[in-house]
Copies of this chain bind each other. A is one copy, B any other.
Amino acid sequence: MIIVMSPESTQSELDAVVSKIRASGLTEHVSRGSERTIVGAIGDERPLNEQSFEQMAGVERAIHIVKPYKLVAREGHPAGSVIDIRGIKLGGKQVQVIAGPCSVETQEQMHLAAAGVHAAGCKMMRGGAFKPRTSPYAFQGLGVQGLEFFQAAAREYNMPIVTELMDVRMLDTFLEHDVDVIQIGARNMQNFDLLKEVGRVNKPVILKRGLSATISEWLMAAEYIAAGGNNNIILCERGIRTFETAYRNVLDVTAIPVLKKETHLPVLVDPSHAGGKAWMVPALARAAVAAGADGLLVEMHPNPCDAWCDADQALTPQELNDLVASLRLIAQAVGREL
């Protein structure tokens, strides 16, 4: 950590900073510039708190030099992680398209959806049984019955399933129903108790980025899961909140190369929630694969007009099929396969 003293700071204020550094088991390095004196704290600075220095008299600013995340950092784990989901690899050469409806509605809908996902060449399926809805009056998901409908449909094609966990109390139920990949939604990215719980199980977890989470906060949320012992973490960019009102969110493609540099975890992109309209999905999906994403989470509904939620962002089975074909060419152009 670097501590910048203010121009009018005194020797005794500097001494106090030095004492505090030493008390934390680090050593100091004082550097007197023409306008400011700067103190470097040498040693493992992670336990140091910028704030506890910034409120000391004579201190202008404290700056962490080392990144706060460790287990999920690329530094120290130069090779990218490949997550194995019942034999399907996420994070390797193959780009994975995980498709399915926003919410599980009926057994028949799920059978049709599973057929469409499989026909398009996708190997995994998504669907929501517990839905986070802005309004308490909106459909909240079928719950446990939804998990059953989902598994019954996906098993016909031997596809692993991805579904969202919102409540810590439902984790055992998810395990009993053999959910293959637990999704933590954007609104729960910093639900730390939930992160701790999924950190204790041995299941792959997709951690969606919070609507206005920085890359650093997101990686620290992943660090919560890793700190619990679960290293099967997959990040998913799903659009960030900005001032723009012409579309729901802004898909942050810059995050893709930045995550690839900062962390060894695989990176998915959800183009459906990002744009919020089915007609935007193909362009965003192509951009994501071109920028280096390891896979996509795409909404598809056998009959979008009748979808019970997020109706206007789901592709039809045919549109999914066409999209996968076009993504295959993009994947090849960047040295991947699909």
Taking Cβ atoms with an 8 Å cutoff, the residues of A that contact B are 2, 4, 7, 29, 31-36, 38, 40, 42-47, 49, 51-52, 54-56, 61, 63, 65-66, 68, 75, 132-138, 140, 166-169, 187-188, 190-193, 196, 211-212, 214-217, 220, 223-224, 227, 239-247, 249-258, 261-262, 274-275, 277-280, 283-284, 286-292, 304-305, 307, 309-313, 326, 329-330, 332-334
Contacts and interface: CB of A to CB of B under 8 A. Distances in A.
A191 B192 contact: no
Contacts of A304: 55
B257 A284 contact: yes
Contact of A246 (B38, B44, B66, B258): B258
Q: What is the total number of copies of this protein in its complex?
A: 4
A206 to B, nearest CB: 18
A253 B55 contact: no
8 contacts: A35-B44, A54-B277, A56-B305, A136-B227, A247-B254, A283-B292, A287-B290, A330-B330
A272 B175 CA distance: 41
A80 to B, nearest CB: 15
A44 B137 CA distance: 13
A289 B289 CA distance: 12
Given A2-B2, A49-B309, A333-B333, 16 more contacts: A36-B66, A49-B311, A51-B310, A51-B311, A68-B135, A134-B190, A136-B220, A166-B191, A169-B193, A187-B190, A211-B212, A216-B246, A251-B254, A254-B284, A289-B290, A332-B333
Contacts of A290: 283, 286-287, 289-291, 330
B257 A192 contact: no
A191 B128 CA distance: 16
A53 to B, nearest CB: 9
Nearest to A139: B49
A75 B44 contact: no
B251 A240 contact: no
A258 B247 CA distance: 8
A139 B286 CA distance: 39
Contact of A212 (B29, B34, B241): B241
Contacts of A66: 35-36
B212 A243 contact: yes
Contact of A330 (B51, B223, B333): B333
A251 B253 CA distance: 7
A55 B292 contact: no
